[in-house]
């Protein structure tokens, strides 16, 4: 389905007859004209009299009428108009069809109970319909399908029209579709600099007033049990953190994300948002428009999904695409719109933000951000950050907003864009990215680790694919440092390490011309080793850890004997600083010396612990292509000043040929399953790029 992009927008008022749609639409048109917006008003009765003359009130005719209104609205919006429609549009699927085809679409539900509408109905139509004197009357004997999650809900029987108008205008301003002009009473006096990603906030949390009804409906639907990661995604969708997404992506959308790093409409996006089900599960074959319930660890359903399509990526599972209505979040999480409103109400416009993943908030980062921004968002999903511990002046402390958010789907370098998008949706116009938690995940796609040329360089290189105008936000990547790598190594250690030993390690890795074989690489290998040992349930090996720490301690590109010298340094340092620990020093030395023959070992030649250590050291080969390319460039840099170019090219060619000729690059089954194919593709590309010697 195509989705038309425009500089205009469509405000779609829906609701029962007499609920105030036309009144509110007329007042909105006047307000927007005062703000110098070119407005086109499409009233439902006028459209029926002209555009849809001859149509009746069957479901098919009603849907045809809505489709025609939507088509005209899109044409006008594409020309830059602010289009306002006021039509009952009773059927949810028809309204959603218009939404899917319209880039900037705001659904406004004018909600009022029939009893109240009957009281204020001057023509007595509701009374006649209730007595059966009129048939096909929406809300009485013809259904009105209430929106699951309208963008704006106006309680027109309970609030004055000015309050409803303020709510609609605020939503338009929030999305950045309307700028300037005087706002009506109760509307925000100004806007944040940051416009939501894609131009609109999409909060998929069901309104509290509809929760009981939706929960009862969900209990009767086909149910799919989901894991913790999907529950995280539901929380992020519910609160608007993943705007402009409204649910789980279609096959075309997923292909655009994988191939182009963008959503189908061209907006920057890197993270796949998929919902998988076993292919033999009844929900895996759900037809379009089928409603299914998603249930997490709790007994009651978490969300309702309206299926758009199902498709297959991997054997034995199918992906289910569709929009979701989330019934509740697991924690009391604020909506993105609530955060933005709090920032606006406090008088802030230019806001910096970062996602807190470390144990303590970095006070230096907060203080620096306050110098260039009106306020700072500290977003967190783990332990509550202690802002008072930053010892800020009272006025500055009031400019720091600690915001609990849903856990984002991923924490890899490739998902740095998602972190930027989340901060942008929260209201930040400056995203501060800490590369080390993103990079040092200990996952088996190392090279995402503390990095070939440092985590900062990796994240910057990744974000450089998008311009400032494409991301719509300024991005500041903090410098990863020697300190960060040292902390990561300490945290990955099976036992507390003496500071003096770490001091020696840091000094050793400062020596020589290093772009890849630095302390960041050590942090990368130790974190990966820790992760795989824990996942496989194998005992933590102190000897493997120490071998990882010291294996490149002595390094000179192209020189013989680096490994033997590193082993000798390790022997001496362990003897000085780890006399209290039971360390098999000869085992450490043996493991370090094995790294001199990468690509020459057979699985049967080494035990599991050794194979995991060697594979962790080589895991960069299976990193995503962009990260591997940085590694490849870093190796070339290290050799450039050490050996003649033809010597480097000949040696590099032999090394790549040897690895590709080996029956397997990785020795352990775990690494092979995860990285072997990607490593071979990377090595082939690297070999093809090398000039002929």
Over range 542-564, report the average pLDDT: 92
d(CA 550, CA 513): 17
Beta bridge partners of 107: 12
Domain shared by 492 and 434, yes or no: no
Domain shared by 351 and 465, yes or no: yes
Domain shared by 342 and 447, yes or no: yes
Nearby residues of 377 by Cβ (< 8 Å), 6 or more positions away: 339, 343, 351, 352, 353, 354, 401, 403, 423, 426, 427, 428
For the chain, give the percent of residues with pLDDT over 70.
Answer: 88
H or E segment and range at residue 532: helix 519-536
Over range 58-62, report the average pLDDT: 80
Dig out the tokens for 505 from the structure: 């390690």
Measuring CA to CA, which residue among 60, 64, 82 is closest to residue 12?
A: 82
Measuring CA to CA, which residue among 237, 239, 297, 296 is closest to residue 271?
A: 237
Q: Which residue has the higher pLDDT, 279 or 692?
A: 279
Identify whether 309 is part of a domain. yes
Nearby residues of 469 by Cβ (< 8 Å), 6 or more positions away: none
d(CA 33, CA 35): 5
d(CA 639, CA 559): 10
Domain shared by 344 and 318, yes or no: no
**Is the pTM value of this prediction over 0.85?**
no
Identify whether 385 is part of a domain. yes
Measuring CA to CA, which residue among 359, 325, 353, 329 is closest to residue 339?
A: 353
Q: Which residue has the higher pLDDT, 478 or 595?
A: 595
Parallel, antiparallel, or unpaired: how do β-strands 400-404 and 9-14 relate?
Answer: unpaired
pLDDT of residue 393: 84
Predicted confidence (pLDDT) per residue in 513-523, tens digit? 777 788 888 88
Measuring CA to CA, which residue among 374, 415, 349, 386 is closest to residue 627?
A: 415
Domain shared by 131 and 228, yes or no: no
Flag whether pLDDT at 53 surpasses 70: no
Q: Decide if 2 is catalytic.
A: no
Domain shared by 365 and 288, yes or no: no
**Residue that is last in its domain, among 477, 496, 520:** 477
DSSP state of 142: B
Domains contained in the chain, number: 4
Which of 38-47, 330-339, 485-494: highest mean pLDDT?
Answer: 330-339
pLDDT of residue 54: 59
Band of residue 71 on the pLDDT scale cut at 50, 70, 90 = confident
Which of 53-67, 135-149, 273-287: highest mean pLDDT?
Answer: 273-287
pLDDT of residue 182: 47
The answer to whether 77 and 104 have CB atoms below 8 angstroms apart is: yes
Measuring CA to CA, which residue among 413, 344, 29 is closest to residue 174?
A: 344
Beta bridge partners of 102: 4
Identify whether 214 is part of a domain. yes
Identify whether 672 is part of a domain. yes
For 353-366, the DSSP string reads EEEE-SSS--HHHH
pLDDT of residue 448: 34
Flag whether pLDDT at 534 surpasses 90: no
Which among 6, 89, 541, 544 is annotated as catalytic? 89
d(CA 159, CA 599): 73
* CATH code assigned at 680: 1.10.1300.10
pLDDT of residue 691: 74
Identify whether 119 is part of a domain. yes
The answer to whether 311 and 215 have CB atoms below 8 angstroms apart is: no
Domain shared by 522 and 663, yes or no: yes
Backbone angles phi, psi at 484, to 5 degrees: -60, -45
| Angle value at C-alpha 318, between 316 and 324, nearest 5 degrees | 150
For 293-358, the DSSP string reads EEE-SSSS--EEEEEEEEE-SSTTEEEEEEEEEE---SS-PPPHHHHHHHHHHTT--SEEEEEE-S
Identify whether 200 is part of a domain. no
d(CA 272, CA 256): 10
Band of residue 451 on the pLDDT scale cut at 50, 70, 90 = very low
User: How does the average pLDDT of the chain come out, rounded?
Assistant: 84
Dig out the tokens for 446 from the structure: 């190392």
* CATH code assigned at 231: 3.10.400.10
Band of residue 301 on the pLDDT scale cut at 50, 70, 90 = very high
Parallel, antiparallel, or unpaired: how do β-strands 276-278 and 317-326 relate?
Answer: antiparallel
pLDDT of residue 102: 86
Identify whether 251 is part of a domain. yes
**Residue that is last in its domain, among 431, 452, 477:** 477
Domain shared by 187 and 284, yes or no: no
DSSP state of 605: G
Residue 198, phi-psi category: left (phi > 0), alpha (psi -120 to 50), beta (remainder): left
**Within the chain, how many helices (H) and strands (E) appear?**
27, 16
Nearby residues of 497 by Cβ (< 8 Å), 6 or more positions away: 489, 490
pLDDT of residue 5: 37
For the chain, give the percent of residues with pLDDT over 90.
Answer: 35
Structural domain span for residue 397: 336-477
Contacts for 600-603: CB closer than 8 Å, 24+ residues apart? 600/658, 601/667, 602/667, 603/664, 603/667, 603/668
Backbone angles phi, psi at 304, to 5 degrees: -115, 130
Band of residue 245 on the pLDDT scale cut at 50, 70, 90 = very high
* CATH code assigned at 360: 3.40.50.620
d(CA 404, CA 383): 10
Over range 638-656, report the average pLDDT: 84
Band of residue 440 on the pLDDT scale cut at 50, 70, 90 = very low
Q: Which residue has the higher pLDDT, 409 or 418?
A: 418
d(CA 468, CA 235): 28
Nearby residues of 155 by Cβ (< 8 Å), 6 or more positions away: 111, 112, 164
Domain shared by 471 and 504, yes or no: no
Measuring CA to CA, which residue among 429, 433, 422 is closest to residue 373?
A: 429
Over range 377-381, report the average pLDDT: 92
pLDDT of residue 414: 62
Identify whether 198 is part of a domain. no
Band of residue 215 on the pLDDT scale cut at 50, 70, 90 = very high
**Residue that is last in its domain, among 461, 477, 493:** 477
Dig out the tokens for 319 from the structure: 């992906």
Instruction: Count the neighbouring beta carbons within 10 Å of the beta carbon of residue 163.
Output: 16
pLDDT of residue 63: 81
The answer to whether 524 and 617 have CB atoms below 8 angstroms apart is: no
Helix axes 519-536, 608-618, angle to 10 degrees: 140
The answer to whether 152 and 175 have CB atoms below 8 angstroms apart is: no
Would you call 400 helix, strand, or coil by DSSP? strand
Domain shared by 468 and 520, yes or no: no
Q: Which residue has the higher pLDDT, 86 or 5?
A: 86
Flag whether pLDDT at 188 surpasses 60: no
pLDDT of residue 183: 43
Domain shared by 85 and 179, yes or no: yes
pLDDT of residue 506: 84
Q: How distant, in Å, are the alpha carbons of 60, 292, 492, 581 from that of 219?
A: 30, 10, 45, 57
Domain shared by 283 and 157, yes or no: no
Flag whether pLDDT at 127 surpasses 50: yes
d(CA 96, CA 83): 17
Band of residue 450 on the pLDDT scale cut at 50, 70, 90 = very low
Over range 604-609, report the average pLDDT: 86
Beta bridge partners of 351: 375
Measuring CA to CA, which residue among 630, 480, 634, 491 is closest to residue 549?
A: 491
């Amino acid at each position: 389905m195509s989705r038309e992009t425009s500089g205009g927008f469509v405000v779609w008022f829906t609701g029962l007859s007499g609920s105030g749609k036309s009144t509110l639409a007329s007042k909105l048109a006047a307000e927007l004209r005062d703000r110098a917006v070119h407005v086109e008003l499409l009233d439902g009765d006028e459209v029926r009299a002209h555009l849809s003359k001859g149509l009746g009130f069957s479901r098919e005719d009603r849907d045809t009428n809505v489709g025609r209104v939507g088509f005209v609205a899109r044409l006008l919006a594409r020309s830059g108009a602010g289009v306002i429609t006021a039509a009952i549009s009773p059927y949810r699927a028809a309204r959603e069809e218009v939404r899917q085809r319209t880039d900037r679409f705001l659904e406004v539900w004018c909600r009022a109970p029939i009893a109240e509408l009957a009281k204020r109905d001057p023509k007595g139509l509701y009374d006649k319909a209730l007595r059966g004197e009129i048939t096909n009357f929406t809300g009485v004997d013809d259904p009105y399908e209430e929106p699951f999650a309208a963008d704006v809900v106006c309680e027109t029987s309970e609030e004055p029209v000015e309050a409803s108008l303020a709510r609609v205008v605020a939503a338009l301003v929030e999305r950045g579709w309307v700028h300037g002009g005087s706002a009506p009473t109760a509307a925000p006096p100004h806007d944040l600099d940051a416009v939501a990603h894609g131009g609109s906030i999409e909060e998929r949390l069901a309104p509290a007033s509809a929760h009981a009804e939706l929960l009862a409906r969900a209990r009767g639907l086909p149910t799919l049990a989901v894991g913790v990661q999907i529950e995280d995604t539901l929380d992020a969708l519910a609160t608007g953190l993943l705007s402009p997404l409204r649910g789980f992506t279609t096959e075309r959308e997923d292909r655009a994300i994988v191939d182009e790093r963008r959503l189908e409409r061209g907006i920057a996006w890197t993270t796949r948002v998929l919902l998988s089900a076993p292919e033999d599960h009844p929900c895996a074959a759900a037809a379009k428009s089928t409603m299914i319930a998603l249930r997490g660890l709790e007994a009651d359903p978490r969300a309702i999904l309206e299926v758009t399509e199902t498709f297959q990526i991997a054997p034995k599972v199918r992906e289910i695409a569709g929009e979701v209505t989330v019934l509740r979040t697991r924690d009391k999480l604020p909506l993105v719109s609530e955060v933005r409103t709090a920032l606006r109400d406090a008088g802030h416009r230019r806001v910096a933000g970062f996602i807190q993943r470390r144990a303590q908030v970095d006070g230096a980062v907060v203080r620096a951000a306050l110098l260039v921004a009106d306020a700072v968002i500290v977003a967190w999903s783990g332990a509550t950050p202690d802002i008072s511990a930053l010892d800020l002046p009272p006025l500055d402390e009031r400019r720091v907003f600690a915001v609990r958010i849903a856990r984002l789907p991923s924490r890899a370098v490739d998902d740095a864009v998602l972190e930027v998008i989340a901060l942008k949706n929260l209201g930040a116009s400056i995203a501060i990215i800490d590369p080390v938690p993103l990079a040092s995940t200990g996952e088996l796609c190392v090279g995402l680790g503390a990095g070939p040329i440092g985590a900062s360089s990796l994240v910057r290189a990744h974000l450089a694919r998008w311009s400032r105008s494409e991301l719509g936000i300024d991005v500041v990547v903090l410098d990863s440092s020697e300190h960060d790598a040292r902390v990561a190594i300490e945290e990955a250690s099976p036992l507390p390490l003496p500071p003096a030993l770490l001091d020696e390690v840091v000094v050793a890795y400062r020596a020589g011309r290093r772009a890849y074989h630095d302390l960041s690489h050590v942090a990368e290998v130790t974190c990966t080793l820790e992760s795989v040992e824990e996942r496989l349930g194998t005992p933590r090996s102190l000897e493997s850890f120490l071998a990882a720490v010291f294996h490149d301690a002595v390094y000179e590109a192209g020189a013989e004997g680096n490994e033997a010298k590193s082993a000798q340094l390790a022997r001496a340092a362990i003897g000085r600083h780890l006399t209290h620990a039971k360390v098999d020093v000869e085992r450490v030395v043996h493991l370090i010396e094995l790294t001199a023959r990468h690509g020459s070992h057979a699985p049967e030649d080494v035990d599991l612990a050794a194979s995991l250590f060697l594979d962790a050291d080589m895991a960069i080969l299976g990193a995503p292509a962009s990260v591997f390319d940085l590694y490849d460039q870093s190796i070339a840099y290290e050799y450039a000043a050490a050996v003649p170019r033809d010597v480097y090219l000949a040696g590099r060619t032999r090394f790549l040929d040897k690895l590709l000729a080996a029956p397997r690059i990785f020795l352990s089954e775990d690494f092979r399953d995860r990285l072997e194919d990607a490593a071979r593709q990377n090595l082939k590309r690297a070999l093809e790029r090398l000039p002929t010697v």
